[in-house]
Structure 1
Amino acid sequence: MDEDFRQGLEYRLEQLENRVALLERNLNLVAAGQRRASFRGLWRRPPMWTFEQHLPRLLNLNAFKSPPAIPANAPRIAMVTPSYNHADYIGATIDSIVGQAYPNLYYHVQDGASIDGTVDLLKSRGNSISWRSEPDNGQSNAINLGFAGVECEIMAYLNSDDMLLPGTLAHVVDYFMSHPDVDIVYGNRIFINRDGLEVGRAVLPRHDDKTLQYADYIPQETMFWRKRVWDKIGPIDESFHFAMDWDFILRAQAAGFKFVRLPRFLSCFRIHDAQKTTATYAIGVKEMGILRRRVLGFDPTQMQIRRAIAPYLLRQLAYHYSYRLGLLRY
């Protein structure tokens, strides 16, 4: 068989597989939406994985707790934004980080040679941020390139369509400084649409190591870790293109690092048609299977996964409605 023809056929099969997986996902979403009022519907689509929970509305940034004061000896934070053709959103991402006014911050945008106006936007920022635009081998590679050779104490990456909430860096640093035994923190998230309007919230219960072996419930855009984690387990595994954050988390857990869920909203996760989470869903299914087999030693069925994460989902449901009813405040 001609090599070009074979590669073309493989590419078309991969595209078809992605479309089938997305169709199955959309059918599940529709089915879950039709059962929204029932417990069964909530069980199939827990609030933390239900992005559009209500009609779009303005996000009130003044409704959150005031951040603690940043100490004079604030540790150095390094943040990287991997980017490719997200000119519509990356400006808000950059503003959400620079606007933290954190005095000891290294922030770098690693762009994959975008052709949509992103480079002009980065140039317009002058010296307020560090950035490079060059071809890369995908998101994982871009993150590693952005962190290469950087000296810091705390690390995080924020995708080019997500946003930090005001005061997030101050809250994270305050917790790390008062809890030297904690290695990785994360928090609650807010779902926003392409226009930056709020469409839902995810309020998470306390961290659960066992559940994490079956499902990645940690919102990546809210996660920060000490550099000692990176130094010990290594950088992002570039063989992963969807579940790279779960792989990093599982390696950190296996190495004995301590995780804590902070009881506050830290970041916004943007929902839009072109986001990678949707476009690479079939690849994600494969990669999540690889990680489960590696950690568990077997390939669990969907029923086994549901049973394993059931206690956590029930707790998340309780936290969600306690927050909605005003019993919990963040």
Structure 2
Amino acid sequence: MDEEFRQRLEQLESRVALLERNQDLIAAGQRRSSLRSLWRRPPMWTFEQYPPRLLNLTAFPRTPAIHPGAPRIAMVTPSYNHAQYLGATIDSIVSQNYPDLYYHVQDGASIDGTLDLLKRRGDSLSWSSEPDKGQSSAINLGFVGAESEIMAYLNSDDVLLPGTLAYVANYFIAHPRVDVVYGHRVFIDREGLEVGRAVLPPHDGKALRYADYIPQETMFWRKRVWDRIGPIDESLHYAMDWDFILRAQAAGFKFARLPRFLACFRIHDAQKTASTYAVGVREMGILRRRILGFEPTQMQIRRAIAPYLAKQLAYHYAYKLGILRY
């Protein structure tokens, strides 16, 4: 082998080694970027986690036997021009066949066919359609005169999973000191296809002061909470559920995260959560200043909820790997 050929071979080997090293660095950077992205957008707030697939209701636990002393549950659905989703919402509640249920749809004078739908379903629920001051106002109107031990509201594009009412009622009976409950959620698209799931760790009152992680569509509370802290704040149009939760926590009511998927949160283009985000940022700032006494920076918020997010990631992957089952 002549000297010139040997030198060229060494140069080639060096370039290959350098290329391999750069590939390793790029891969490591991609992994770190992926981890940073996962940390910035944890699974519980990542709606579209995988391609749409059929929601297999038979894969969830069976409906438990209903306790003979089942408490009366009052549920309200605020609605406005959601005829394309409202039928599924109504069916998901009525099909629970819960023996002592008051269910009311409070519609804001829709003009999209909602009235015809409600007239057809009138035998299975109560309803009214009249102008209101927004979602918070509709929820409060819907609960007027409702007598019950347990309360909840389900928006007109979300759905309950089978057995939810029986499971929640049995839990409240078995845990008389618990006042507010919520559970895991499923994300569905506009067609009702599953696109993600959120498995939550146990309740964390400290993290809740900085960020609302409770899935509203899965939340139920005892009427004594409503009687004590008052109704939904009608001045809020985005963060009214977090406001209600924070007031309940400040009043000393006990929360519990239930080990079960309870409801589905629907993702679609006209969704209020997406279209009024600026309003939400302002309202969440108001609530943080009220509960904390100051307005935290984004860094302070991330640091405060970091332990909870770490637990959520652990629960998420433990569920994906089959270590946790619900």
Is 1:297 matched up with 2:293?
A: yes
CA deviation vs aligned residue, 1:288-326 (integer Å, no higher than 9, x gap): 000000000001000000000000000000000000000
Separation of aligned partners in 2, 1:278 and 1:88: 18
Separation of aligned partners in 1, 2:237 and 2:122: 31
AA of the residue aligned to 2:109: A
Separation of aligned partners in 2, 1:260 and 1:284: 25
Separation of aligned partners in 1, 2:272 and 2:296: 25
Matched with 1:106 is 102
Aligned with 1:276 (options 272, 282, 286): 272
Aligned with 1:190 (options 186, 208, 214): 186
Q: What is the aligned length?
A: 297
Alpha carbons 1:35, 1:41 under 8 Å: kept: no
Matched with 1:204 is 200
Aligned with 1:317 (options 295, 313, 316): 313
Matched with 1:230 is 226
- Structure 2: give runs of 5+ residues left out of the alignment: 1-29
- Structure 1: give runs of 5+ residues left out of the alignment: 1-33
Shift, 1:127, TM fit: 1.6
Aligned with 1:249 (options 245, 250, 255): 245
Alpha carbons 1:36, 1:42 under 8 Å: kept: no
AA of the residue aligned to 1:154: I
CA deviation vs aligned residue, 1:102-142 (integer Å, no higher than 9, x gap): 01000000000000000100001132110000000000000
Q: Tell me the SS of whatever aligns to 1:214.
A: coil
Separation of aligned partners in 2, 1:49 and 1:312: 13
> Which has the higher Rg, Structure 1 or Structure 2?
2
Q: Tell me the SS of whatever aligns to 1:246.
A: helix
Separation of aligned partners in 2, 1:247 and 1:35: 37
Is 1:38 matched up with 2:34?
A: yes
Q: Tell me the SS of whatever aligns to 1:261.
A: strand
**In structure 2, do the counterparts of structure 1 residues 91 and 35 end up closer, same or farther at CA, with 3 Å as the change threshold?**
farther
Shift, 1:35, TM fit: 8.0
**In structure 2, do the counterparts of structure 1 residues 234 and 36 end up closer, same or farther at CA, with 3 Å as the change threshold?**
farther
Alpha carbons 1:193, 1:271 under 8 Å: kept: yes
Please report the RMSD computed on the Cα atoms of aligned residues, expressed in angstroms: 1.1
**In structure 2, do the counterparts of structure 1 residues 54 and 70 end up closer, same or farther at CA, with 3 Å as the change threshold?**
same
Structure 1 segments of 4+ aligned residues over 6 angstroms from their partners: 34-37
Shift, 1:265, TM fit: 0.1
Is 1:260 matched up with 2:260?
A: no
Q: TM-score, normalised by structure 2?
A: 0.90
AA of the residue aligned to 2:260: R
Alpha carbons 1:206, 1:260 under 8 Å: kept: yes
User: Equivalent pairs: percent with the same residue?
Assistant: 80
